[in-house]
Amino acid sequence: MRAFWLIVPALLGSSCLLLAPAWAQRPAPVEVRHYTIEVAGLRVGSMTATRHSLNAAEVRYTLVSDVQVNFLVYHLKVYYKVINQVHSGQLLLSTVEAHTNQGDFASRTEWKGDHYDIVADQYKHHYRGTLRQPIRYTVTDMFFGAPVGQAHAYGEYFGDYFTLGSTSASTYQAHRAGREDEYHYADGQLTTIIKKNPLKNFIIRRQP
C-alpha cells in the first residue's frame, strides 16, 4: 500500500500528495490473542480474541471459539463467535452466534439510546430483558487485561453479569448462577482460564 502511494504521485504530479485519503495512513492497531482448549490433558479446540481499534473512540472486539470433544459417550461440538462494538468505553452492540451439535443459537445486546434490549436464546438458556445502566466491562475485556477494580463483567452469551472476585493479584473468579470460571494472569496478561464443569474442566491456555 505504501509503495502504491509513492508511485501514484510520480505519475500524476506532486500535488496529489495532498489528496491521499485518511485510509492510506497507518492502519488501526489490531491485538490478537491465541489460546488452545484442553480437556483431560487433550487438545480439543482453539480460541482467538481480537481487539481492533477502529479510531480514537471506536473499538471492535471479537472472540471465536471452536471445540470438538469425543470421549466415549460424551460428544460435544461448539463453535461460537462474539462481536462487541464499543464507543468511548461503552458497549453499543454485542452479537453472539453459536453452532453446536444441539442446534444453532444466538444472543444480542443492543443499546437503544437510554437502555439495552437483551435477547439470549442459547442451549437451555433463554432470556429477554432490558438494562438501563451502560455496560462498560464485559467477559471479552478480560482477555486483554486483568479486571482490576471491576466487581462485575457482562456475559455476552447469557445477557447477564458475572460477579468477579480475586484470591490474589493474579487470580480472579467469575461467578454466575452456580457457574464458576477462574482466570489467571501474569504481568497483566491472561495466561489461563479454567472453566469448571461437572464432568471435566476445560482449560484454556495462552499460546506464544
Q: Which residue did the predictor score with more confidence, 168 or 171?
A: 171
For 37-87, how does the pLDDT look when each residue is reduced to its tens digit (9 = 90+)? 999 899 999 999 999 999 999 999 999 999 998 877 778 899 999 999 999
Separation CA 176–CA 197 (nearest Å): 13
* Domain range list for the chain: 28-206
For 133-156, how does the pLDDT look when each residue is reduced to its tens digit (9 = 90+)? 999 999 999 999 999 999 999 999
Separation CA 36–CA 44 (nearest Å): 8
pLDDT for 89 beyond 50: yes
Whole-number average pLDDT of the chain: 87
pLDDT of residue 13: 41
